[in-house]
Structure 1
Amino acid sequence: MVKLYAYMLEQDDPSKCTSSKLCRFGLAERVGKPFRRLRQAILLNPFAPKVLSVQDRLRAERWGIAVVDCSWEQVREVAWKRFPGVHRRLPLLLAGNPVSYGKLARLSSLEALAAALYILGFKEQAWRLASLYKWAPKFLELNMEPLEAYSSASSPEEIRKIEKEFFPGLVD
């Protein structure tokens, strides 16, 4: 089982915060401030230049995956460089959460972690996370084809090609 971490910036409604629920159920560890011990973990960062791929699997197994839980309205203001870790962005996916349903790449923290786990081959753990919300399994179902393709890709370059196939005109 991959260790999951959530940096909580507390910018959203706490009752709708998916990271809070993950932590309450013991599926993720709440992290209050950037910790050096997470410097080897994968940090999901929507602005990272390098895309998450199966090449990151061993790092995730050993060090875990971290997410910064913040509001999409304030995401550009986050000081991403102050968070330790190996920064990776997720490949393009459609949101399945009620707030951003169908919007490209506007995932909740739970969706981001579930997608990362799925892409890295930890599919059972991804489905376990998704079981916390009624809408979350729909996220995995909505993105099943790209998720399967991304999880089969052997490199970040191959993932970029797959992104272009599924989301033409949206990737350089």
Structure 2
Amino acid sequence: MKLHVRYEGDDDPKKCTARKLARFDLTDLHRSTGATPYGIVLNPHAEQALSPADREESGNLVALDCSWESAGKALFEMPGVHRALPFLVAANPVNYGRPFQLNTVEAFAAGLCILGEREHAEKILSKFNWGQTFLELNDEPLRRYAECENSSEVVAVQQEYLDAGESDGSDE
């Protein structure tokens, strides 16, 4: 699967995982929506979760790279099939341990794992000293999501993690 980034360039270039992936020729950066190819768009505002059923949808996986402060719904208006990633925890130094706060390479890796391309995910994460930690922190959910047949099953598995998190917080 080919990786593409709709690149806003509004975050710290030294911490930008999309730019680092591009330096290693592991993704293509696109400065406009029109230049961004059709594909599976990883969109936290999407109404349907990414699932293995999306494997045949496109040969492209597309992510938006921008700061979390500017990641509004309008920026995600790109051509393609929009899918949300399910519950996962960030391993990057900026958002470590925060659910749903993945950076671009973590989003790509999660999408690749769910779509059955774990080796590709491992390859892109290997460029970051914390990359393996992302796979370790999310090993069980990523494997479970990849075993689902469709978005509904992914959402059901996600709900188990969300319910477990709520019960953990209420026991304090």
Q: TM-score scaled to structure 2, two decimals?
A: 0.91
| Correspondence for 1:52 | 50
CA contact (8 A) 1:3 1:64 kept: yes
Q: State the 1:26 CA deviation.
A: 0.4
For residue 145 of structure 2, give the secondary structure of its aligned residue in structure 1.
helix
RMSD: 1.7
What letter is aligned with 2:43? N
Q: State the 1:36 CA deviation.
A: 6.6
CA–CA distance in structure 1, aligned partners of residues 151 and 73 of structure 2:
27
What letter is aligned with 1:93? L
| Correspondence for 2:102 | 107
| Correspondence for 2:26 | 27
CA contact (8 A) 1:97 1:135 kept: yes
Of stretches 121-130 and 26-35 in structure 1, the one that deviates more from structure 2 is 26-35
Q: State the 1:77 CA deviation.
A: 6.1
CA–CA distance in structure 2, aligned partners of residues 167 and 109 of structure 1:
22
| Correspondence for 2:141 | 146
CA contact (8 A) 1:164 1:170 kept: no
| Correspondence for 2:63 | 67
CA contact (8 A) 1:45 1:67 kept: yes
**Equivalent of residue 91 in structure 1, options 70, 86, 92:** 86
CA–CA distance in structure 1, aligned partners of residues 138 and 91 of structure 2:
9
What letter is aligned with 1:107? L
Q: TM-score scaled to structure 1, two decimals?
A: 0.91
Q: Deviations over 1:63-87 (max 9, x none)?
A: 3101010001221264322x11111
| Correspondence for 2:169 | none
Q: State the 1:35 CA deviation.
A: 3.0
Structure 1 residue runs of 5 or longer lacking an equivalent are none
How many pairs does the alignment contain? 166
CA–CA distance in structure 2, aligned partners of residues 73 and 169 of structure 1:
28
CA–CA distance in structure 1, aligned partners of residues 61 and 165 of structure 2:
26
